[in-house]
Amino acid sequence: MLLPLLGLLLLLLLPLVVFRQSLSQDARLSWLASLQHRVAWWALGWAAAWQQWKLEQSTRHVSQSQQQALRGCLRGPQLPRCPLRGDIDISTFRNALPLTKASLIQEKESRGQPPTSIYHGETSLQATLLGLAALKKAHPEVLAPGNTARVTPTSPWSSPLPWPGHALDQAGPPGARESSALLLQALRYPGLRALEAGTAAELLDIFLGLETDGRELAEAVATGNPGEPLPRRAAELRQALEQGPRGLALRLWPKLQVVVTLDSGGQTEAVAALAALWCQGLAFFSPAYVASGGVVGLNLWPEQPRGLYLLPPGTPFIELLPVTEGAQEGAASTLLLAEAQKGTEYELVLTDHTSLTRCRLGDVIQVVGAYNQCPVVRFIYRLSQTLSVRGENIGEDVFSEALGKAVRQWPGAKLLDHVCVESSILDSAEGSAPHYEVFVELRGLRNLSEENRDKLDHCLQEASPYYKSLRFRGSVGPARVHLVGQGGFRELRAALAASPSFAFPPEMPRVLRHRHLAEFLQRRVVS
């Protein structure tokens, strides 16, 4: 409904152009672009207000809304093994559809069909419209024409709506699909107030690439398009790049205010690295919680330093599986959104009408508040990224916290990225106890002493008493830390993107399960 409405409004503007024929061509184009921008924002504002009203209604009556969402799922394609029809209660639904792990679904897809998003629904549209409205309220100047640039082919906005601030896309290379072309166009405009990137890891790669290709990009800006050389801007770029990574974004674009990028799925370290170095002093906004190619949660709070997400009661149909330490597989039953308890951790369970599969996503969230009757959550970790060589089960969040604590004890070091490999994957436990092989990329430290390497194992023992007991008995060997050369993780992400099972948003693995990927990094170790 939004796109036809916007198209009609733009058509109504055409007769007005006749009255501007006396103006110069540049003036007419500027006037028309400004008018189109205002009309587009009127349409988007109207649509956002409508979505906000719908969200208010659905979250105030969440049990009824979830029942409607369940009926919507069951109206989709019915599978022979699950002939559900009509209004059914939640118990019947759970009994008819047993829980399935996301890894099993992905394995089935990878055997024949190309991977696709299995989660769709109005949540995707809500995330974009309400995210735009929230961003405009928090940073009013950001969405003015020409103030925003996207520097990756992928977008953090989940629904393909017309973005009224994308004057740069119109001025840039038509249909540009390469990050280098998008970055080059952004570098030409010093007045940017917002940068967009699909994910934080992709943006990190952009800034890492600036360090190696910055001179060539500045030269390209100096050369410019035919008739548009920008030697003064090129000189500004060279001077900004010569001063190093810290605060680079604000030197390149002095009016920059916010970075818009997705932050779930292993993006935490990339966000931290960007905030500590290249994007120091800037706000970050992740407009949606996206997993397995679909939108799960809405972010209505751009002012929050870390992403908070409202779990809406629409499609996909969401259930919450309590995460209880020591509980047996399948022992706990799922809860509905209205039953969520503040402070409790849950694994997300999603059902979509296209597959009718109750999928255990593997993402663990913590409830931190409520919006009407719906939970507001924070992403914590992924169950698939758990380390365990002797049943110790060190989660992604526990390991990252221990590694961060260790890096803070390494003089001058800033952590850019890391992955872990269980020693059996690389056959590196022969003649020794099983252990973790840890690969890190750092800034500010070129070599790791043995004393520094040992600090990680000490931090892991402090974080996990069970791991400490295994180390004391000698059942688990000390973690081995390897320093990867500059650009090694960027190359790893490129290799992952070339995989046939690659889907957006690309999750950054923290535990590598495949030998060829572990060896890929092993060949790039410098210390």
Residues 500-509: tens digit of each pLDDT: 666 666 789 9
Beta-sheet pairing, 414-422 with 436-443: antiparallel
Contact 137, 299 (CB under 8 A): no
- Give the span between the Cα atoms of 162 and 75, in whole angstroms: 31
Distance of alpha carbon 308 from the chain centroid: 13
- Per-residue pLDDT tens over the stretch 78-107: 555 555 665 677 888 888 888 888 765 554
pLDDT at 117: 46
pLDDT at 20: 44
pLDDT at 400: 96
Query: What's the token pair of residue 435?
Result: 């252990």
pLDDT at 168: 46
Coil vs helix vs strand at 100: strand
Sheet architecture: strand order including 436-443: 414-422, 436-443, 480-483
pLDDT at 170: 41
pLDDT at 169: 45
Single-letter amino acid, residue 479: A
- Per-residue pLDDT tens over the stretch 122-131: 788 899 999 9
State the pTM of this model. 0.88
* DSSP bridge partners of 359: 100, 350
Contact 298, 313 (CB under 8 A): no
- The CA distances from residue 33 to 107, 145, 193, 230, in Å, are 48, 8, 19, 24
Query: What's the token pair of residue 423?
Result: 């020693």
Q: Which residues in the chain come in under a pLDDT of 50? A: 8-23, 107-119, 165-175
Contact 505, 119 (CB under 8 A): no
